[in-house]
Amino acid sequence: MATAHLNDITLHYVEDGDPEGAPLVFINSLGTDVRVWDDVLPLLPKGLRIIRFDKRGHGQSDCPPAPYAMGTLVRDTETLLDHLEVKDAVLVGLSIGGMITQGLAVKRLDLVRAMVLSNTAAKIGQPSMWQDRITALQAGGMEALVDNILERWFTKAFRESDAAGVWRQRLLDTPLEGYIGCCHAIAGTDFYTPTSGLRLPTLGIAGSDDGSTPADLVRETTDLVPGSKFKLIRRAGHIPCVEQPETYAEALTHFLQEIGHV
């Protein structure tokens, strides 16, 4: 297991592909870890340096006490990429990972060559909605919300398939403190103004059945960046890299080719 001991945190990360290749960095969503990309990676072009990591409070990374600030999640990512001597990466950010992507692009454009804003937005929900979620989690744990969350993550057909149980269990295994910490970070984030100032190649990806960041919302954020592209993935909810990995990998590959990253 690879870990990076950064200033105040140890993060778990995984590198695949060619260590000398152009960097492609994946940033996971709330309640998922590096395994959320497992089915996409084998479908991507060879020759890339592929980096995935568990943000604080998730997977095998440290889990400090909640709350977390978005600035802290951005700084963790920045410090990890500096530690790994990564520059000019394409960042693929899923949901809160897409918020971290926007924050990092605003702060350190030298690290970010292009953004893939997957199932994300400049602002997700209202602070009161996140506070309600935090209160429910504190009262009843993840068990209280797991089915509700899965309804937003996946289509009915996927939820009724054998694969769904794995994702249910992974969500239940997510440290509650880490999950709540990240809910606070999302609640406090509104990147509309900073993201509007970004000028870099950008692809938005949305799921037709996304119950958390509907396609219109993803498009609205993607449109903040002039010249951005947009891909709607059908028969997918909030986590299309799990539900439709072939279409997801195809969209990513096309974008990477278009910008000359592969």
Ligand X SMILES: O=C(O)CC1=CCC(=O)O1
Residues making contact with ligand X (CB under 6 A):
29-30, 95-96, 124, 149, 152, 186, 212, 238
Closer residue to ligand X (CB): 22 or 96: 96
Residue nearest to ligand X (CB): 95
| Nearest distance in Å: CB 45, ligand X | 27
- Beta carbons of 145 and 129 less than 8 angstroms apart: no
For the chain, the farthest-separated pair of C-alpha atoms sits apart, in whole angstroms, at 49
Tokens representing residue 97 in the block: 């990972």
| Nearest distance in Å: CB 125, ligand X | 7
| Nearest distance in Å: CB 151, ligand X | 9
Closer residue to ligand X (CB): 15 or 190: 190
| CA–CA separation, 34 and 4 (whole Å) | 15
- Beta carbons of 204 and 221 less than 8 angstroms apart: yes
| Nearest distance in Å: CB 241, ligand X | 13
Closer residue to ligand X (CB): 32 or 113: 32
User: What is the side-by-side strand order in the sheet with 10-17?
Assistant: 2-5, 10-17, 48-53, 22-27, 89-94, 112-118, 202-207, 229-233
Closer residue to ligand X (CB): 11 or 48: 11
